[in-house]
Amino acid sequence: MRARTEKLYQKVVNAITAAIEQGRYKTGSRLPGERELAEEFAVSRPTIREAMIALEIRGLVEARHGSGLYVTVPPRRTAEPAELDIGAFELLEARILFEGETAALAATAIDDAGLAALDRVLAEMAGCDPGGAEAMAADRQFHLLIAEATGNTAIGMIVETLWNLRDHSRLSAHMFAEARREGVNPRVEEHRLIVDALRSRDSATARAAMRSHLKRVVDDLLEATEVEAMRRTRSELEERRGVLNRRLDA
């Protein structure tokens, strides 16, 4: 008996792994495009993206620049790696839920020292390279400071755990790294709106500002992964056009 429900992206990964084992997709062959796979498995394109990244991490497929995903080696059946279990979209859904309420509670409890600490982190975030490690560290510290401001140790531990998952889950980390390569970086102004709401001791506005910020992260991640998907789609179209031209010229 399974201890937990199998996630959609895992179902796609397992189905494609089985197809490789059965010879439907042979070593060196190219997998179908994202849209075709989404239709075949009746899932969203973000789910297909997570599945493709999971297959890459397992070493079953490789991305060839401007060409798509190709099968590399026949799979060996192993247990589902725990570090692949949390995707970026699933993680962000949890963060929207927990960190939205965390910001609302922090608005009722934060003191002047807590606000000053957030102002310092904002200044650091604004003064460093947006895509660098310092900006990423400042972003993490900003959110952990808000959790700390609630005065609730359990809340602080939960928020820190969610951030640790972002960095330590290979699937999630891979997707966020892809977003950074496409220029997705922390937005200082969005963070400042959260601090403004906390300074006003306005729980409803703090909750809304945090949720809006994290929903924007979701949008950014979707757009960043769509860029790669579009590159692959263009490559597929060029390949089909080349085949058609050769047939017409024959």
| Domain spans, the chain | 8-83, 87-226
- This prediction has a pTM of 0.66
> Is the pLDDT score of 58 beyond 90?
no
Quickly tell me which residue has 């975030």 as its tokens.
125
Rounded Cα gap, residues 79 and 69, in angstroms: 23
Distances 17 to 28, 74, 83, 246 between C-alpha atoms, Å = 14, 9, 18, 33
Using an 8 Å Cβ cutoff, are 34 and 232 in contact? yes
- Among candidates 40, 131, 42, 145, which has minimal Cα distance to 99? 145
Distance of alpha carbon 26 from alpha carbon 100, whole angstroms: 46
Look at residue 136 in the predicted model and tell me its pLDDT.
Answer: 86
CB-CB neighbours of 51 under 10 Å: 27
Question: What does the CA dihedral 209, 212, 214, 219 come to, rounded to 10 degrees?
Answer: -160
CB atoms within 10 A of CB 170: 17
What angle separates helix 153-168 from helix 88-109, to the nearest 10 degrees? 150
Q: Can you name the residues that pair with 70 across neighbouring β-strands?
A: 30, 62
Same fold, 8-83 and 87-226: no
Provide CB contacts within 8 A for 197, sequence distance 6+.
103, 107, 205, 206, 208, 209
Higher pLDDT, 31 or 178: 31
Q: How confident is the model at residue 47 (pLDDT cuts 50, 70, 90)?
A: confident
pLDDT bin (cut points 50, 70, 90) of residue 83 is very low
> Which DSSP string do the residues of 196-232 spell out, in sequence order?
HHHHTT-HHHHHHHHHHHHHHHHHHHHHHHHHHHHHH
Q: Output the pLDDT for position 241.
A: 52
Beta strands in 86-234, from DSSP E residues, in sequence order = none
Q: Measure the CA–CA gap between 187 and 164, rounded to whole angstroms.
A: 20
* Top-tier CATH class for 8-83: mainly alpha
Tell me the pLDDT band of 243, cut-offs 50, 70 and 90. low
What is the dotted CATH code of the domain comprising 87-226?
1.20.120.530
**Beta-carbon count within 10 A of 240 CB:** 10
